[in-house]
Amino acid sequence: MEASVTGVNAATGTAASAAAAAAAAAAASAPNTKRNTQQGRKKSGPKFELTEAQKSDIKEAFDVFDKDCIGYIEVKELKVAIRALGFEPKKEEIKRMIAEIDKDGSGRIAFNDFLHLMTMKMAEKDIKEEILKAFRLFDDDETGKISFKNLKRVARELGETLSDEELREMIDEADLDNDGEVNQEEFLRIMKKTSLY
């Protein structure tokens, strides 16, 4: 499957590219297949960049809390500032972000740190959206699940010659609830496991 995904960037490519990457991820994670010989897949491709509108939105959200215009917001305001940008971070995630940004324990976050943090959040969101687009390409019958038939069709369209056994192993690897199909959560999990998300 490696040949069909060389240079694929699931984060910034089309949903079809993400589908190819997803198929490669499934092949790489399937146990006991001759294709499961690759080690340490890494994300590749161009770095995620914010649009001017996104940068403006981030600055605006920051400025709402930087009342004195000193270039800092209080750590306690981080969650609300992130929510203002459309994200719903969990408590643990906020704690991790604060530990990452406020290394000196000052209780303040500079704009550049906030911008970096939000760039990472938006990149994650963009990648997830591309992965879900790929899921929808697999799920052409709109059942909310990827069946053996769906996977076989995508492999054929990508020019892959995988045996039915290899395709079933791919489904089995991702299928946590043992219903013989892969739902969105299972699909996201396998993409995360193979470092494509």
**CATH code at 118?**
1.10.238.10
Residue 58 sits in the same domain as residue 119: yes
State which residues form the domain around 160: 139-195
Tens of pLDDT along 122-144? 888 878 888 889 899 999 999 99
Q: How confident is the model at residue 190 (pLDDT cuts 50, 70, 90)?
A: confident
- pLDDT computed for residue 5 by the predictor: 32
Domain stop point among 71, 89, 124:
124
Query: What's the number of domains the chain is made of?
Result: 2
Residue 60 sits in the same domain as residue 103: yes
Q: Is the pLDDT of residue 16 over 60?
A: no
- pLDDT computed for residue 159 by the predictor: 87
Residue 89, sorted as left (phi over 0), alpha (psi -120 to 50) or beta, turns out to be: beta
Domain stop point among 90, 124, 158:
124
Q: Which two tokens stand for residue 180?
A: 């013989």
- pLDDT computed for residue 126 by the predictor: 79
Q: How confident is the model at residue 45 (pLDDT cuts 50, 70, 90)?
A: very low
Tens of pLDDT along 51-98? 899 999 999 999 999 988 999 999 999 999 999 998 888 999 999 999
Q: Strands 72-74, 182-183: parallel, antiparallel or unpaired by DSSP?
A: unpaired
Query: CB–CB of 2/38 below 8 Å?
Result: yes
- pLDDT computed for residue 19 by the predictor: 52
| Residue 181 backbone phi and psi in degrees, to 5 | -135, 165
Residue 62 sits in the same domain as residue 113: yes
Domain stop point among 99, 124, 149:
124
**106 in a structural domain:** yes
Nearest-angstrom CA–CA distance, 161 and 154: 11
**65 in a structural domain:** yes
**92 in a structural domain:** yes
Residue 42 or 197, more confident: 197
